[in-house]
Amino acid sequence: MLTLEPVYLLIGAFLLFAAALDLRSRRRAMSAFWAILSLPFLAGEAILAAARHGTHWPAQAMGIGVIALGVMAAVGDRRPSGDEAALANTREAEAIRLGNRLFGPALLIPLVTLLVALATQYGPAPLRALVDTKQSTLIALGIASVVALAVALRVTGARIDSGLHEGHRLLDTLGWAALLPMLLATLGSVFAATGVGDAIAALVAVVIPIDSRIACLLAFAFGIVLFTAIMGNAFAAFPVLMAGIGLPLLVQRHGAHPAVLGSIGMLTGYCGTLLTPMAANFNIVPVVLLELPDQYAVIRAQLPTALVLFVVNVALLWLLAF
């Protein structure tokens, strides 16, 4: 049965490759950053096995590693390696030559992910037995990424080492922002475990009439957008708002359908992602990559979409969740 372990090992190996290239370029802080980050991907199963047997020092070492990542992110050398101007000219010439074919590999990632995830969830029993269904979406994403890389190499005629070097260049450009989705998802779990959701539930009970279905729904919708804007990602806001408002008030008190509330509620939270510089990997890094003069240009462009999407999502929650 295919699990996430091979996907994690591939990611860890790529991070080690990036660390080796940065070390060769004398960017020691960035090299250490990617090397430390590779360890949980390469040794995650061993760390979990040690924890199950009562050995806690590997997990404690990972905690020290997280602190070290913060230090490395602060002192990392973000200077481009090599002749960046010449490389930029080469990439522009290749982009003109290939035209719209360049979009094919990128579009394959969501398409293949969807097809593999659906096939492993609803396909024939022998097919479902090949993949761990509990992690089928993430496994599908890993498969899709490998397929997209193979197609990209075929379309461009490049060698695999070119793809790895370009991946390293992009990874160095993103820097610490590449970690934000993982860290923010963890932050949401920490908030939920420490009772932040209960505190929000107590506050909401004082501020709004909890017997009003529409008041609870609006508090949930505005709250998840606000928390997402503060923390930068709906992964962090979702468990807090579901624990504080979604489950106790909307599901248990007013009978909302949990699946509808969860799916559309998460999408509502991402309206906040479109509006905040805290979502640096979405809203600030593209500004740097595109060399835009206004650091908030992406947010300004997304503002109308976020507002319209928020109104539509609230309407869908009202119509479909109850």
pLDDT the model gives residue 166:
83
Beta bridge partners of 131: 2
pLDDT the model gives residue 235:
78
Among 206, 197, 248, which Cα is nearest to 224's?
Answer: 197
Yes or no: say if 47 and 79 are a contact pair by the CB < 8 Å rule.
Answer: no
Among 220, 232, 234, which Cα is nearest to 267's?
Answer: 234
Long-range pairs for 142-148: beta carbons < 8 A, 24 or more residues apart = 142/4, 142/6, 142/7, 142/10, 143/112, 143/113, 143/116, 144/108, 144/109, 144/110, 144/111, 144/112, 144/113, 144/116, 145/109, 146/10, 147/108, 147/112, 148/105, 148/106, 148/108, 148/109, 148/112
pLDDT the model gives residue 217:
93
Where residue 154 falls (left for φ over 0; alpha for ψ -120 to 50; beta otherwise) is alpha
List, for residues 157-213, the tens digit of each pLDDT value.
888 888 888 888 888 877 777 777 677 667 767 776 777 767 777 787 788 888 899
List, for residues 42-88, the tens digit of each pLDDT value.
888 888 787 778 777 777 887 888 788 777 766 655 555 555 555 66
Yes or no: say if 254 and 294 are a contact pair by the CB < 8 Å rule.
Answer: no
pLDDT the model gives residue 306:
93
Domain boundaries, given as residue ranges, for the chain: 5-174, 180-320
Q: Is 260 a residue whose pLDDT tops 80?
A: yes
pTM attached to this predicted model: 0.71
Report the C-alpha gap between 269 and 267 in whole angstroms.
5
Structure tokens at 301: 């462009």
List, for residues 138-159, the tens digit of each pLDDT value.
888 889 999 999 998 888 888 8
With cut-offs at 50, 70 and 90, classify the pLDDT of residue 251.
Answer: very high
Q: Is 316 a residue whose pLDDT tops 90?
A: yes
pLDDT the model gives residue 16:
92
pLDDT the model gives residue 96:
80
List, for residues 6-39, the tens digit of each pLDDT value.
888 999 999 999 999 888 888 888 888 888 888 8
- Radius of gyration from C-alpha coordinates of the chain: 22
Provide mean pLDDT across the span 118-125.
Answer: 82
**Residue 180 Cα distances to 23, 143, 146, 244, 294, angstroms:** 24, 22, 23, 24, 22
pLDDT the model gives residue 301:
92
Yes or no: say if 101 and 155 are a contact pair by the CB < 8 Å rule.
Answer: yes
List, for residues 78-115, the tens digit of each pLDDT value.
555 555 555 667 777 777 887 888 888 889 999 999 99
Lowest mean pLDDT among 88-97, 214-223, 231-240: 88-97
Residues 6+ apart with CB under 8 A from 253: 210, 216
Residue 26, phi then psi, degrees to nearest 5: 65, 25
